[in-house]
Amino acid sequence: MTKQDKLLDAIGQVDEKLIPELSPRRKNRKVIFISSIAVVCAAALLLATLFPPKFLANLLGRSSEKLSAQTLASPNYPTMAEYPDESKYADWDLYDKAVSAWNESRDALRNQPTGYQTGYDAFFRDVTPTLIDPDTSENVAFSPMSLYLALSMSAEITDGQSRQQILDVLHQKDILSSRANAKSLFEANFVDDKMGKCLLANSLWTNSKCTYDQATMNILADHYYASAFTGDPLSPKYTTLYRAWINNQTDGLLSDFVNELSLDPQMVLTLVSTVNYEGKWSQRFDPEKTKASTFHGQNGDITCDFMKNSYETMFSRGENFDSIDVPLESNGYMRLILPNEGIRPAALLQDKECMDFLMNKDSVAEKRMTVNLSLPKFDIASSLKLNENLKKLGITEIFDATRANFAPLGSDSAEGLAITTVQQDARILIDEEGCKASAVTIMELCGSAMPPDDKIDLVFDRPFLVEIVSDTGAPLFIGIVNQPAD
């Protein structure tokens, strides 16, 4: 039995000592400044129970001790070579070797089985227009990656029709395919090279008064890189540890929301999935060129700071929008989509041509041009309630305690369970250096280029769409800027 297996086997045992280290990999990680780009897509699956009276009595009878927390598993995350700092190399041959090592380490993670992202692409096409109201006049920030990973893990703790409904939405033929493709998606988008980052991390939070099927716990640890903790959900220390873990993984960008989170007293299991993305514009905006101007928002005109830059790049034009991709240093790009006058940004998500474009299909005309970009600084946030949206997509059984099947949790932890809340809180903000964004999904279960051909001025002075795409081409984040500041 491995050390990790022994730790997982300890579920249900008690330890009064609060674990001081949440994750060795995160030790001494600096909080990022607004001059960096961070997309943090955090997904939390909170599992509590609607206990039948007999089951509740048996559960509470197991132990009356107040627990803090105990670490049960600490997975080995993927590793990458650091991007070499050219200023530290006097020998160019050594520098070239360091660059080669960096490229090889990235390529090793990118080398995933063909078709691993197919299900995610189909999921993105189905879910995004379903979750966002086409008539909304509010700001919206949503992470499809966050929700996808949360649902992938929830499939592991369900069975029968409950599992099949989730797999159908994930566009996976069976749990083995879902498991393998989720792991490939995790590894292919993982970046931790000090130049940029796309850090993914998962964890599971168990109730020390319950017992669980060890095989299911092992799957979550081995295939989803999930750290495991156990404790009493009534313990303030356990709640503090839970909040601290999420804040640590998301660089504190969602602290106002996270610090209000609490574990349901009847919690059986909590699954958490986070995505933390950071990078810088390949071509910075000059702060000296930032000037105040008018943004014609859905809720009226406002004055805000507009950043300006010029790019010799491909300009895209669809039937209902114009677009430009703003590259980030070795870590994907931000796609800016300006709807035609009179079209709401959210309505574009119902448009097949635009959705194909968001998924990097060759659906629109492109032309190499000099684009004079004028882009407002923005700081947007939103909260999405997702229960009804997921039901529309076909995931219904897990919301009904009389029909849901959570058998993989274990015989005494699987009775009378139902997911009561699915919510995603998210935030996106940018400045001259880059962007930060974060999202947390909570599911509560209770019981050499050619010269440019032309020039164009692209002024984002009315509501627009934002997409953040990893260097694998996977959409990480979708935003709608109806007002640059809430």
What does pTM read for this prediction? 0.81
What residues contact residue 85 under an 8 Å CB cut-off, 6+ apart?
none
d(CA 195, CA 298): 37
Kindly report, residue by residue over 377-416, the tens digit of the pLDDT.
Answer: 998 888 888 889 999 999 999 999 889 998 888 756 667 8
pLDDT at 192 over 60: yes
Buried b (16+ CB within 10 A) or exposed e, 373-412: bbbbbbbbbbebebeebbeebebebbbebeebbbbbbbee
Q: State the pLDDT at residue 211.
A: 80
Number of helices and strands in the chain (H, E): 12, 18
pLDDT at 450 over 60: no
Domain ranges within the chain, ordered by starting residue: 3-81+108-112+141-163+170-280+383-445, 287-379+450-481
Q: What percent of the chain has pLDDT over 90?
A: 41
d(CA 385, CA 71): 31
In contact, 40 and 250? CB cutoff 8 Å: yes
Element (H, E) at 246: helix 236-249
Kindly report, residue by residue over 274-308, the tens digit of the pLDDT.
Answer: 888 877 899 999 999 999 999 999 889 999 999 99
Element (H, E) at 191: strand 191-192
Helices 144-156, 175-188: inter-axial angle, 10-degree rounding: 140
Token digits of residue 114: 């063909």
Confidence of residue 151 (pLDDT cuts 50, 70, 90): very high
In contact, 277 and 438? CB cutoff 8 Å: no
Kindly report, residue by residue over 72-87, the tens digit of the pLDDT.
Answer: 777 888 888 998 988 8
Q: State the pLDDT at residue 194.
A: 84
Q: How many residues would you count in the chain?
A: 486
Nearest to 326 by CA among 336, 317, 316: 336
Q: State the pLDDT at residue 317.
A: 93
Mean pLDDT over each residue of the chain, to the nearest integer: 81
Token digits of residue 299: 């809720």
Secondary structure class of 275 (helix, strand, coil)? strand
Confidence of residue 417 (pLDDT cuts 50, 70, 90): confident
pLDDT at 250 over 50: yes
Question: Where would I find the beta strands (DSSP E) of 208-266?
Answer: 226-231
d(CA 213, CA 217): 7
Nearest to 42 by CA among 274, 276, 383, 386: 274
Confidence of residue 207 (pLDDT cuts 50, 70, 90): confident
Helices 160-170, 175-188: inter-axial angle, 10-degree rounding: 40
| DSSP letters for 74-115 | -------PPPP-GGG-S-HHHHHHHHHHHHHHHHHHH---TT
Q: How many CB atoms lie within 10 A of CB 262?
A: 13
d(CA 440, CA 427): 10
Q: Which CATH number fits domain 287-379+450-481: 3.20.190.10, 2.30.39.10, 3.40.630.30, 2.60.120.580?
A: 2.30.39.10
Greater confidence, 284 or 17?
284
Confidence of residue 167 (pLDDT cuts 50, 70, 90): very high
d(CA 188, CA 116): 10
Secondary structure class of 213 (helix, strand, coil)? coil
Question: Where would I find the beta strands (DSSP E) of 23-149?
Answer: 37-48, 70-73, 140-142
In contact, 144 and 469? CB cutoff 8 Å: no
SS3 of the chain: helix, strand, coil, percent, to 5: 30, 30, 35
Q: State the pLDDT at residue 124.
A: 96
Secondary structure class of 419 (helix, strand, coil)? strand
Q: State the pLDDT at residue 2.
A: 43
Place of tokens 């109730």: 207
Fold of 3-81+108-112+141-163+170-280+383-445: Antithrombin; Chain I, domain 2 (3.30.497)
